[in-house]
Amino acid sequence: MNNSVNEASITEIEKALASSRIALPDGTVVPGVGQGTWCIGDDASRRSEEVKALRLGIELGMKLIDTAEMYGEGRSETVVGEAVRGIRDKVFLVSKVYPHNAGLKRIAKSCEDSLKRLRTDHLDLYLLHWRGSVPLEETVQGMERLVEQGKIARWGVSNFDTDDMKELSRLARGTHCVTNQVLYHLGSRGIEFDLLPWQRERQMPIMAYSPLAQAGALRKGLVQNAAVKAIAAAHGASPLQILLAWCVREGDVIAIPKASSREHVLQNAAAGLIRLSADELRQLDEAFPGPARKMPLDII
């Protein structure tokens, strides 16, 4: 393998991604690094580039694609639908339902609308985007009906904190939830105090959105940190690649970074080659300590 991550061959990248796979509670295996699509589809002039980027990611092994009816009010799903056309069977497709559409009167239509935009007859995973006013028991019932109808293969939640997950697990069939998608990156480690351990005990992986942090002051602080920059230089990688490698370091967190260009897709995929040493992880812990107490769930 090359010393420089970004000089690695496509074959090396593919092998690294293929070896980084995570099992859901039902035994289904998914890539440890997938593709997020928040804001994809918002600029019509970039549609072709975004479709090509998603397809490249699929070819490299980032075959889990996450989207939502909320993203661009369906525009993201439409772009994803174009990207997976002809290769749907190679993709693990995830979408999310608005909380106000998660009751028995609306969830079936929301799911059907998403399927039409995605040009498919089923979702591999359907998530409740965040908790709203609809009783959890009703949402679980709606999800289970969709499973019975073959519209979705399995379901999960997003933006649920520990108490929410405990409440969900006490419901009839609430334990059928296979994942919880939450914000998680080096600068946002609150879930490590209780939510991440709780899910690990149940072998239910976290799906981390915004694993590179959102663009702005927080991301700037992360990528300009001396420890992050030094570790990146040692691996011949970029600071953002170190952030992604850190996020999936334990092998039980699914990261879904967004990439809307070929260059970004290749950089995200190449991060799969990085194995952080114990000393490097210690340095990052010192620079960005984990939580010492319960923290509110970060939500974007």
Q: pLDDT tens, position by position, for the chain (300 residues)?
A: 446 787 778 898 898 898 889 999 999 999 999 999 999 999 999 999 999 999 999 999 999 999 999 999 999 999 999 999 999 999 999 999 999 999 999 999 999 999 999 999 999 999 999 999 999 999 999 999 999 999 999 999 999 999 999 999 999 999 999 999 999 999 999 999 999 999 999 999 999 999 999 888 999 999 999 999 999 999 999 999 999 999 999 999 999 999 888 999 999 999 999 999 999 999 999 999 999 999 999 998
> What pLDDT is attached to residue 1?
42
Catalytic residue among 71, 98, 126, 209: 71
Q: Return all residues near 211 (Cβ < 8 A) that are at least 6 apart.
A: 184, 185, 243, 244, 247, 248, 255, 256, 257
Measured in degrees and rounded to the nearest 5, phi and psi for residue 35 equal: -135, 125
Instruction: Write the DSSP symbol of residue 291.
Output: P
> What pLDDT is attached to residue 165?
98
Q: Return all residues near 200 (Cβ < 8 A) that are at least 6 apart.
A: 252
Helices (DSSP H) in 5-161: which residue ranges? 10-19, 47-60, 75-83, 107-118, 136-148
Distance CA 56, CA 48 (A): 12
Distance CA 46, CA 238 (A): 25
> What pLDDT is attached to residue 3?
61
Domains in the chain, start-ordered, CATH in brackets? 5-213+251-275 (3.20.20.100)
Where residue 20 falls (left for φ over 0; alpha for ψ -120 to 50; beta otherwise) is beta
Amino acid in position 156: G
Q: Mark whether 184 is an active-site residue.
A: no
At residue 47, the 3 state secondary structure works out as: helix
Residue with tokens 């993709």: 91
Where residue 174 falls (left for φ over 0; alpha for ψ -120 to 50; beta otherwise) is alpha
> What pLDDT is attached to residue 5?
81
